[in-house]
Structure 1
Amino acid sequence: MAEDDWKTSDLTFTTRTGTPIEPRNFNRAFESHCRRAGVPRIRVHDTRHTCASLLAALDVHPRVAMRILRHSQISMTMDVYTQVPSPETRKALDRLNKSLATDQNA
């Protein structure tokens, strides 16, 4: 039975039997998902920076972002991982978003 082969761990991502995933296999799978989704190829680690910056842009409290990213210090979350957009940057991105939405509806 499959349950007899299952290895219990506290890992987020595992193989089908609960064992650690070989990093190269994880990277290959990640790249395959990116290709199928039609998004630019980035390193898996860069998704953490993207997540932190998106959480900041959505005004998620820094302590909550720290817990999501599983950092032990808020300085790691805010100083290393997060790029907080200025009000001017947000305005420009909102205008760009509206422009792109209008072009797609044309």
Structure 2
Amino acid sequence: MSWQESDLLFTTRHGTPIEPRNFNRSWDRRCEKAGVPKITVHDGRRSCASLLAELNVHPSVIMRILRHANIRVTMEIYTEISDEETRKALQQLSESLDF
């Protein structure tokens, strides 16, 4: 069977739609293999957005990776910035203003 092109984010190895229960089983196995607590796919997307933000990836790039149509969804709903990152940004600001 050859690859079937689609706009789907998750597919079978042939590009066809994946049955949701099969996807969930695969997702759970990957969480177990990675040694991380079982989380939802949505939580995985939020973690991805937050990690990319902490790596200073441009918000537009994060938006494209998550395939959002609106930057506001990406930054206000999916992305969380840690307290440490906030403190680091404020320290950088302070140092840049220090005369």
Q: Residues 17, 57 of structure 1: CA spacing in aligned structure 2 closer, same or farther, 3 A cutoff?
A: closer
How much has 1:13 moved relative to structure 2?
A: 2.6
Gaps of 5+ in 2: 89-99
Amino acid at match of 1:77: T
Deviations 1:81-106 (A, max 9, x none): 00112346677xxxxxxxxxxxxxxx
SS in 1 for 2:25: helix
The percent identity for this pair of structures is 62
1:38 to 2:63 alignment:
no
1:68 to 2:65 alignment:
yes
Write the distance in 2 (CA, Å) between the matches of 1:44 and 1:11: 15
TM-score (norm 2): 0.75
Tell me if the contact between 2:5 and 2:15 (Cα under 8 Å) persists in the aligned partners. Answer: yes
- Bigger CA drift: 58-67 or 10-19? 10-19
Superposition misfits of 4+ residues, deviation over 3 angstroms: 86-91
Tell me if the contact between 2:54 and 2:85 (Cα under 8 Å) persists in the aligned partners. Answer: no
State the superposition RMSD in angstroms. 2.1
Aligned residues: 88
For residue 12 of structure 1, what is the aligned residue in structure 2?
9
Gaps of 5+ in 1: 92-106
TM-score (norm 1): 0.70
Write the distance in 2 (CA, Å) between the matches of 1:47 and 1:12: 14
Write the distance in 2 (CA, Å) between the matches of 1:38 and 1:62: 29
Write the distance in 1 (CA, Å) between the matches of 2:84 and 2:41: 29
5 Å-filtered alignment, 1:1-106, equals 2-3=1-2, 7-87=4-84
